[in-house]
Amino acid sequence: MTWFSIIVAGILTYFTRMTMIALVDREMLGDRIKAVLEYVPSAVFPAIIFPAIFINDYGSFVEMNDPKIFGAIVAIIVGYFSKNIIATIISGLISYWVLIFIFNF
Protein backbone atom coordinates (compact mmCIF):
# COMPACT_ATOMS: atom_id res chain seq x y z
CA MET A 1 0.00 0.00 0.00
CA THR A 2 2.78 2.40 0.88
CA TRP A 3 4.55 1.55 -2.36
CA PHE A 4 1.38 2.26 -4.29
CA SER A 5 0.97 5.63 -2.52
CA ILE A 6 4.55 6.59 -3.35
CA ILE A 7 3.99 5.85 -7.01
CA VAL A 8 0.78 7.89 -7.05
CA ALA A 9 2.55 10.74 -5.20
CA GLY A 10 5.37 10.50 -7.73
CA ILE A 11 3.02 10.68 -10.70
CA LEU A 12 1.21 13.65 -9.13
CA THR A 13 4.52 15.42 -8.52
CA TYR A 14 5.67 14.73 -12.06
CA PHE A 15 2.42 16.21 -13.38
CA THR A 16 2.99 19.40 -11.37
CA ARG A 17 6.37 19.70 -13.10
CA MET A 18 5.28 18.71 -16.57
CA THR A 19 1.82 20.27 -17.04
CA MET A 20 2.81 23.87 -17.65
CA ILE A 21 5.92 22.97 -19.63
CA ALA A 22 4.51 20.33 -21.96
CA LEU A 23 0.73 20.53 -21.97
CA VAL A 24 -0.08 24.23 -21.78
CA ASP A 25 0.61 26.37 -24.80
CA ARG A 26 2.28 29.59 -23.76
CA GLU A 27 0.07 31.57 -26.09
CA MET A 28 -2.85 30.64 -23.90
CA LEU A 29 -1.36 32.94 -21.26
CA GLY A 30 -2.11 36.63 -21.80
CA ASP A 31 0.44 39.43 -21.50
CA ARG A 32 -0.81 40.35 -18.07
CA ILE A 33 -0.28 36.86 -16.74
CA LYS A 34 3.20 36.78 -18.25
CA ALA A 35 4.02 40.06 -16.50
CA VAL A 36 2.78 38.68 -13.18
CA LEU A 37 4.85 35.52 -13.65
CA GLU A 38 7.97 37.71 -13.42
CA TYR A 39 7.25 37.76 -9.69
CA VAL A 40 7.16 33.99 -9.21
CA PRO A 41 10.47 33.62 -7.33
CA SER A 42 9.58 36.48 -4.97
CA ALA A 43 6.07 35.10 -4.54
CA VAL A 44 7.04 31.48 -3.83
CA PHE A 45 10.33 31.27 -1.92
CA PRO A 46 9.29 33.33 1.14
CA ALA A 47 6.69 30.61 1.78
CA ILE A 48 9.64 28.28 2.36
CA ILE A 49 11.82 30.85 4.16
CA PHE A 50 9.38 32.37 6.69
CA PRO A 51 8.00 29.18 8.29
CA ALA A 52 11.51 27.67 8.45
CA ILE A 53 12.66 30.67 10.49
CA PHE A 54 9.63 31.74 12.51
CA ILE A 55 7.97 28.40 13.27
CA ASN A 56 9.65 25.68 15.33
CA ASP A 57 9.48 21.90 15.01
CA TYR A 58 6.35 21.80 17.15
CA GLY A 59 4.39 24.15 14.92
CA SER A 60 4.39 27.21 17.20
CA PHE A 61 5.98 30.63 16.75
CA VAL A 62 9.58 31.11 17.93
CA GLU A 63 10.58 33.80 20.43
CA MET A 64 11.69 37.15 19.04
CA ASN A 65 15.25 36.45 20.18
CA ASP A 66 15.47 33.10 18.40
CA PRO A 67 18.96 32.48 16.96
CA LYS A 68 17.43 31.62 13.55
CA ILE A 69 16.06 35.15 13.21
CA PHE A 70 19.50 36.56 13.95
CA GLY A 71 21.15 34.12 11.51
CA ALA A 72 18.68 35.04 8.78
CA ILE A 73 19.32 38.77 9.25
CA VAL A 74 23.08 38.21 9.02
CA ALA A 75 22.60 36.08 5.89
CA ILE A 76 20.41 38.75 4.26
CA ILE A 77 22.98 41.50 4.92
CA VAL A 78 25.94 39.37 3.78
CA GLY A 79 24.03 38.07 0.75
CA TYR A 80 22.88 41.51 -0.28
CA PHE A 81 26.37 42.97 -0.36
CA SER A 82 28.45 39.93 -1.35
CA LYS A 83 26.03 38.61 -4.02
CA ASN A 84 27.55 35.25 -3.16
CA ILE A 85 25.45 32.18 -2.36
CA ILE A 86 28.12 30.36 -0.36
CA ALA A 87 28.90 33.46 1.73
CA THR A 88 25.18 33.89 2.41
CA ILE A 89 24.66 30.33 3.62
CA ILE A 90 27.90 30.11 5.63
CA SER A 91 27.46 33.49 7.33
CA GLY A 92 23.92 32.56 8.36
CA LEU A 93 24.98 29.18 9.72
CA ILE A 94 28.02 30.50 11.56
CA SER A 95 26.14 33.34 13.24
CA TYR A 96 23.49 30.81 14.25
CA TRP A 97 26.12 28.45 15.67
CA VAL A 98 27.86 31.25 17.55
CA LEU A 99 24.58 32.03 19.29
CA ILE A 100 23.62 28.47 20.15
CA PHE A 101 27.07 27.09 21.05
CA ILE A 102 28.87 30.07 22.54
CA PHE A 103 26.03 32.14 23.97
CA ASN A 104 23.81 29.09 24.66
CA PHE A 105 20.67 30.58 23.20
Partner 1 sequence: MLTKKQLFTQGMMDISPHMLSVIPFGIICGAIGVELGFDPYLVYAMSFIIFGGASQIVFLQLLSGGASSLVAVTSVGIINSRHLLYGAVLSEYLEKLSFIKKLLISYVVVDQGFAESNKFFKKNKTEQHLHYHLIGTGCTMWVCWQIATLSGIILGSFVPEELGLKFAIPLTFIAIVVQDLKKIDHVIVMITCGLSSLLFFDAPFKSYIIISPVIALFVASLILRLKK
**Binding residues for partner 1 restricted to 72-91, rule: CB under 8 A:** 72, 75-76, 79-80, 83-86, 88-90
Q: How far is the CB of 103 from partner 1 (least distance, A)?
A: 14
Kindly state whether residue 62 participates in binding partner 1, applying the rule CB under 8 A.
no
Q: Is residue 69 packed enough to be buried (19+ CB in 10 Å), middle (13-18) or exposed (0-12)?
A: middle
Describe the crossing of helices 85-97 and 67-82 by its angle, rounded to 10 degrees: 150
Q: How many residues does the chain have?
A: 105
Q: Is residue 87 packed enough to be buried (19+ CB in 10 Å), middle (13-18) or exposed (0-12)?
A: middle
User: Comparing C-alpha atoms, which of 47, 49, 55 is closest to residue 73?
Assistant: 49
Residue span 7-46 as binding mask against partner 1, x where in contact by CB under 8 A, dash where not? xxxx-xxx-xxxxxxx-x-x--x--xxxxxxxxxxxxxxx
Q: How far is the CB of 89 from partner 1 (least distance, A)?
A: 5
Kindly state whether residue 102 participates in binding partner 1, applying the rule CB under 8 A.
no
In the complex, the residues that contact partner 1 under the rule CB under 8 A are 1-10, 12-14, 16-22, 24, 26, 29, 32-55, 59, 61, 68, 71-72, 75-76, 79-80, 83-86, 88-90, 92-93, 96-97, 100
